[in-house]
């Protein structure tokens, strides 16, 4: 546990940093709880995957990124966006499908991104963003940039073919990327044991002669320490790694899943006793870095931030229907290229048709 | 300039774009030391090195995905898929990712990626190596799909595709690689996307084709000319964007149209053109739009069966004569 101690020292010697990690996790927790409520009020559509209980795995690793590193995540990405610093109002606006959302209402819950902060997306096909993240690491090597990629995904992705192809390419090409399996025990309702012949996911790294490691994903400092060390190794030595962070999602796979038929109430309760935010709050108290009142003030602050995000999302404008075709192509010549394709196209695609109610 | 092969035209375009722009790099199976399965990239690995001509394992999903991730950073990867049949294992990356990314992320990031892949048939390569799947991709918004039929277009459209800011599927053809033709003497030789070409002028029948089928169509036009029938051959060059206007202008002149393609006709390029032409040329057509494609079976191995399945000149000619006969010609 010497490694954990080193990680603790880095963060806990800096009270502001230590409290910021708490604040980030609290913000995600509150944001997710209020998102669930807004979803049940039908203000948010589509799928909605909450990461309540997984905050430390996300925040701890993302905190180890430096400006210039790139981040990829799965569709369970609300917390990812908040952890990189995307404004909560813009994230909530995306969930509400508003033009002011981070993807102008085109992506929704599963496809958040923040290019300015090098967060390249929440992705909706399990495992498929691993090769893409690998390509971003290839671009960093190609351009000789001193940065790395952090690619987060759920345990379900480990059973896909693209997991294998991405890790193999990263290893044979010596790419600066850390693959982080956020193991929350279930891919939808299928357990890790049921899905994987080798349920110790980090051991897969050996197949690629890659460093593999497992840490307590509910210990934000342990996650941060491991991610920091592996990202440094990726940046400085161009060596990829596989990091498994063990955690749990309290809610179901999505808001539509009560999360009860494939696991016991006792199991959920046992994980709640290891809650990452409660644990970290207690640690801050033990070390004299925060009083109960300090933490309460943070909770109140993040609650206000989320309330403000919801208020702004409610008030924001939806994208106009005349913007339906925006962002499909980006080349400056695309309109000219497509200018001879309207003839005889289906109704609605020819130009000049009447509009119809939606 | 002396005539070059289609293969050499592609190589020249790749060479020039690699030389012009440091952000351009090639990636694919056997494209380096092996010089490419069909030798398109011969010599480029020696000239530009392993970083810019990157050999990959047999991992289409992996390296198409990696191309996307590199393109999102502003690089311009040109990926070679050994034959278009193998793109199917990377279909998720092409359709769910490359085609969706710009739109799904609200225009915040683009994918300036080219995927080169030859299709085509005729060498007894059988069911899993003889498909022409371009129409499947041409139906997908977010992609651009081109299929040049001549060395000049192969050269000019590949350069345009590499400079394009959106994902382009660049469909080559195994039979075309040895076709020779001239490259333009002057200018940059760039050929725009979304513009069909009149490969041969005529007045009695419009014969629409793309890729290798254009060469078949030109031979059919020669044969019919011996009987005094004047065929206009339209080379689509680009399937998405599709230049419907050029086809329609031709049909307004000839009043008859036959669409030939190497893939299956059902839900194919001819189906799409027929749907559009029945609207824009409703009053110009003297006969229904006719189609010719590959027989609707997996490509068989035995030579007589393969010949029976291919859209050979004889089949296209028979379809043309049948259509003209319907009009009393």
Render pLDDT for A219-236 as a digit per residue (tens, 0 to 9).
Answer: 999 999 999 999 999 999
Asked which of B123, B147, B181 is the last residue of a domain, the reply is B181
Render pLDDT for B187-209 as a digit per residue (tens, 0 to 9).
Answer: 899 999 999 999 999 999 999 99
Distance CA A276, CA A220 (A): 7
Estimate the share of chain B in helix, then strand, then coil, as percent rounded to the nearest 5. 40, 20, 40
A to B CB pairs, distance under 8 Å: 189
pLDDT at position B308: 98
Whether residue B241 is contained in a domain is answered as yes
B214: Cβ contacts below 8 Å, ≥ 6 apart: B149, B150, B199, B233, B235
Closest to A130 measured CA to CA, from A155, A156, A107, A163: A163
Spell out which residues of chain A touch residue B141, defining contact as CB-CB under 8 Å.
328
**Packing angle, helices A15-40 and A292-315, rounded to 10:** 40
**A63 near A335, Cβ under 8 Å?**
no
Residue B6 Cα distances to A136, B149, B198, B320, angstroms: 32, 9, 19, 28
Local structure of residue B186 (DSSP, 8 states): S
Chain length of chain B: 329
Give yes or no: residues B222 and B160 share one domain.
no
Q: Is residue A146 packed enough to be buried (19+ CB in 10 Å), middle (13-18) or exposed (0-12)?
A: exposed
Give yes or no: residues B161 and B228 share one domain.
no
CATH number of the domain that residue B176 is part of? 3.40.50.970
User: Does B195 reach chain A within 8 Å, measured CB to CB?
Assistant: yes
Contact A131 B68 (CB under 8 A): yes
Count CB atoms within 10 A of the CB of residue A267. 12
Q: Which residue from B minimizes the CA distance to A325? A: B103
**A158 near A145, Cβ under 8 Å?**
no
Local structure of residue B96 (DSSP, 8 states): I
Interface test mutation site (partner A, options B24, B66, B157, max chain A beta carbons within 10 A): B66
Sort strands B144-146 and B238-240 into parallel, antiparallel or unpaired: antiparallel
Catalytic residues of B: 60, 129
Render pLDDT for A236-261 as a digit per residue (tens, 0 to 9).
Answer: 999 999 999 999 999 999 988 889 99
B246-251's contacts with Cβ under 8 Å and 24+ in sequence apart are B246/A340, B246/B195, B246/B196, B246/B197, B246/B198, B247/B196, B247/B206, B247/B208, B247/B273, B247/B277, B248/A343, B248/A344, B248/B276, B248/B277, B248/B280, B248/B281, B250/B198, B250/B206, B251/B206, B251/B277, B251/B281, B251/B284, B251/B285
pTM passes above 0.95: yes
Asked which of B155, B181, B207 is the last residue of a domain, the reply is B181
Whether residue B188 is contained in a domain is answered as no
Q: Which structure tokens are listed for B79?
A: 């990926």
Give yes or no: residues B303 and B211 share one domain.
yes
Closest to B29 measured CA to CA, from B91, B99, B94, B87: B87
Render pLDDT for A314-326 as a digit per residue (tens, 0 to 9).
Answer: 999 999 999 999 9
Tell how many helices (H) and how many strands (E) occur in chain B. 12, 14
**Chain B residues 97-156 with CB within 8 Å of chain A:** 97, 102-110, 141-142, 144
Q: Predicted ipTM?
A: 0.96
Render pLDDT for B270-288 as a digit per residue (tens, 0 to 9).
Answer: 999 999 999 999 999 999 9
Distance CA A36, CA B78 (A): 43
Contact B92 A120 (CB under 8 A): no
pLDDT at position A43: 96
Contact B97 A134 (CB under 8 A): no
Closest to B207 measured CA to CA, from B82, B319, B87: B319
CATH number of the domain that residue B213 is part of? 3.40.50.920
Whether residue B321 is contained in a domain is answered as yes
Give yes or no: residues B171 and B36 share one domain.
yes
Asked which of B150, B181, B212 is the last residue of a domain, the reply is B181
Sort strands B205-209 and B231-235 into parallel, antiparallel or unpaired: parallel
Q: Which structure tokens are listed for B161?
A: 């595709």
Residue A42 Cα distances to A112, A233, A317, B98, angstroms: 19, 45, 17, 31
User: Does B3 reach chain A within 8 Å, measured CB to CB?
Assistant: no
Mean pLDDT confidence for A81-85? 98
The shortest C-alpha distance from B28 to chain A (Å) reads: 12
pLDDT at position B307: 98
Instruction: Quickly state the pLDDT bin for A218 (edges 50, 70, 90).
Output: very high
Give yes or no: residues B175 and B205 share one domain.
no
Give yes or no: residues B159 and B208 share one domain.
no
Give yes or no: residues B148 and B273 share one domain.
no
B84-123 burial code (b ≥16 CB/10 A, e <16)? bbebebbebbbbebbbbbbbbbbbbbbbbbbbbbbbbbbe
Residue B251 structural domain: 197-326
Distance CA A125, CA B160 (A): 31
Contact B276 A334 (CB under 8 A): no
pLDDT at position B1: 66
Give yes or no: residues B24 and B170 share one domain.
yes
Chain length of chain A: 358
3-class SS string, chain A: CHHHHHHHHHHHCCHHHHHHHHHHHHHHHHHHHHHHHHHHCCCCCCCCCCCCCCHHHHHHHHCCCCECEEEEECCCCHHHHHHHCCCHHHHHHHHCCCCCCCCCCCCCCCCCCEHHHCEEEECCCCCCHHHHHHHHHHHHHHCCCCCCEEEEEEHHHHHCHHHHHHHHHHHHCCCCEEEEEEECCEECCEEHHHHCCCCCHHHHHHHHCCEEEEEECCCHHHHHHHHHHHHHHHHHHCCCEEEEEECCCCCCCCCCCCCCCCCCHHHHHHHHCCCHHHHHHHHHHHCCCCCHHHHHHHHHHHHHHHHHHHHHHHHCCCCCHHHCCCCCCCCCCHHHHCCCCCCCCCCCCCCCCCCCCC
Q: How would you classify residue B46: left for phi > 0, otherwise alpha for psi between -120 and 50, otherwise beta?
A: alpha
Question: Is the alpha carbon torsion for B99, B105, B106, B110 positive or negative?
Answer: negative
Contact B106 A106 (CB under 8 A): yes
**Chain B residues 205-264 with CB within 8 Å of chain A:** 238, 240-246, 248
Give yes or no: residues B48 and B118 share one domain.
yes
Render pLDDT for A255-294 as a digit per residue (tens, 0 to 9).
Answer: 888 899 999 999 999 999 999 999 999 999 999 999 999 9
**B194 near A341, Cβ under 8 Å?**
yes
Q: Which homologous superfamily is A2-331 in?
A: Thiamin diphosphate (ThDP)-binding fold, Pyr/PP domains (3.40.50.970)
Give yes or no: residues B24 and B169 share one domain.
yes
Give yes or no: residues B30 and B155 share one domain.
yes
Instruction: Quickly state the pLDDT bin for A6 (edges 50, 70, 90).
Output: low
Whether residue B189 is contained in a domain is answered as no
Q: Which residue from A minimizes the CA distance to B244? A: A341
Give yes or no: residues B127 and B70 share one domain.
yes
Structural domain tally of chain B? 2
Q: Which structure tokens are listed for B97?
A: 């990712």
Instruction: Quickly state the pLDDT bin for B120 (edges 50, 70, 90).
Output: very high
pLDDT of A3 strictly over 70:
no
Half-sphere exposure of A328 (CA within 13 A, CB side): 14
Mean pLDDT confidence for B98-113? 98
């Amino acid at each position: 546990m010497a490694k954990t101690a080193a990680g603790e020292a880095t963060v806990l010697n800096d009270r502001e940093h230590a409290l910021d990690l708490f604040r980030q996790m609290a913000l995600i927790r509150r944001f997710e709880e209020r998102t669930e409520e807004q979803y049940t009020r039908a203000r948010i559509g589509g799928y909605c995957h909450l990461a309540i209980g997984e905050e430390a795995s996300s925040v701890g690793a993302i905190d180890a990124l430096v400006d210039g590193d790139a981040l990829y995540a799965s569709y369970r990405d609300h917390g990812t966006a908040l952890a990189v610093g995307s404004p909560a109002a813009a994230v909530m606006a995306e969930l509400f499908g508003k033009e002011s959302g981070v993807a102008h209402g085109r992506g929704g819950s599963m496809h958040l991104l923040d290019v300015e902060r090098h967060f390249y997306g929440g992705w909706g096909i399990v495992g498929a963003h691993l090769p893409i993240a690998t390509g971003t690491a290839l671009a960093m090597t190609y351009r000789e940039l001193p940065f790395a990629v952090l690619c987060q995904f759920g345990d379900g992705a480990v059973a896909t073919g693209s997991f294998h192809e991405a890790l193999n390419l990263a290893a044979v090409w010596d790419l600066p990327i850390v693959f982080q399996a956020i193991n929350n025990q279930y891919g939808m309702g299928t357990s890790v044991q049921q899905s994987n012949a080798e349920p110790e996911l980090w051991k897969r790294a050996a197949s690629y002669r890659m460093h593999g490691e497992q840490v307590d994903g509910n210990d934000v400092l342990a996650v941060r320490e491991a991610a920091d060390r592996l990202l440094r190794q990726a940046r400085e030595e161009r060596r990829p790694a596989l990091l498994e962070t063990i955690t749990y999602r309290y809610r179901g796979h999505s808001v539509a899943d009560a999360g009860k038929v494939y696991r016991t109430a006792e199991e959920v309760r046992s994980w709640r006793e290891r809650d990452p935010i409660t644990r970290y709050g207690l640690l801050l108290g033990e070390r004299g870095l925060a009083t109960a009142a300090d933490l309460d003030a943070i909770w109140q602050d993040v609650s206000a931030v989320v309330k403000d995000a919801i208020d702004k999302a409610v008030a924001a404008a939806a994208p106009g229907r005349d913007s339906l075709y925006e962002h499909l192509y980006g080349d400056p010549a695309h309109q000219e290229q497509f200018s001879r394709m309207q003839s005889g196209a289906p109704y609605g695609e020819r130009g000049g048709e009447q509009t119809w109610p939606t | 300039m002396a005539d070059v092969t289609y293969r050499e035209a592609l190589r020249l375009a790749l060479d020039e774009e690699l030389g012009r722009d440091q952000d351009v790099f090639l990636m694919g199976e056997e494209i380096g030391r092996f010089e490419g399965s069909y030798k398109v990239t011969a010599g480029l690995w020696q000239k530009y090195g392993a970083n810019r001509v990157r050999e990959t394992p047999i991992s289409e999903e992996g390296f198409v995905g990696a191309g996307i991730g590199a393109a999102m950073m502003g690089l311009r990867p040109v990926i070679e898929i050994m034959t278009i049949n193998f793109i199917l294992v990377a279909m998720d990356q092409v359709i769910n990712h490359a085609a969706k990314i710009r739109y799904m992320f609200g225009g915040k990031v683009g994918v300036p990626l080219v995927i080169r892949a030859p299709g085509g048939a005729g060498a007894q390569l059988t069911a899993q190596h003889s498909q022409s799947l371009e129409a499947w991709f041409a139906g997908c918004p977010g992609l651009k799909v081109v299929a040049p039929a001549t060395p000049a277009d192969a050269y000019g459209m590949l350069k345009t595709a590499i400079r394009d800011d959106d994902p382009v599927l660049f469909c080559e053809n195994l039979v075309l690689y040895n076709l020779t033709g001239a490259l333009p003497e002057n200018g940059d030789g760039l050929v725009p996307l979304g513009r069909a070409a009149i490969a041969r002028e005529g007045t009695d029948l419009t014969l629409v084709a793309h890729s290798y089928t254009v060469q078949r169509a030109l031979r059919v036009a020669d044969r019919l000319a011996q009987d005094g029938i004047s065929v206009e051959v339209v080379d689509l060059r680009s399937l998405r964007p599709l230049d419907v206007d050029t086809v329609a202008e031709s049909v307004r002149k000839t009043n008859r149209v036959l669409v030939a393609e190497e893939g299956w006709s059902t839900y194919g390029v001819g189906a799409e053109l027929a749907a559009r032409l029945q609207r824009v040329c409703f009053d110009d057509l003297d006969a229904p739009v006719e189609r010719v494609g590959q027989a609707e079976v997996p490509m068989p191995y035995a030579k007589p069966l393969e010949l029976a399945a291919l859209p050979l000149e004889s089949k296209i000619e028979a379809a043309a004569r049948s259509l003209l006969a319907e009009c009393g010609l």
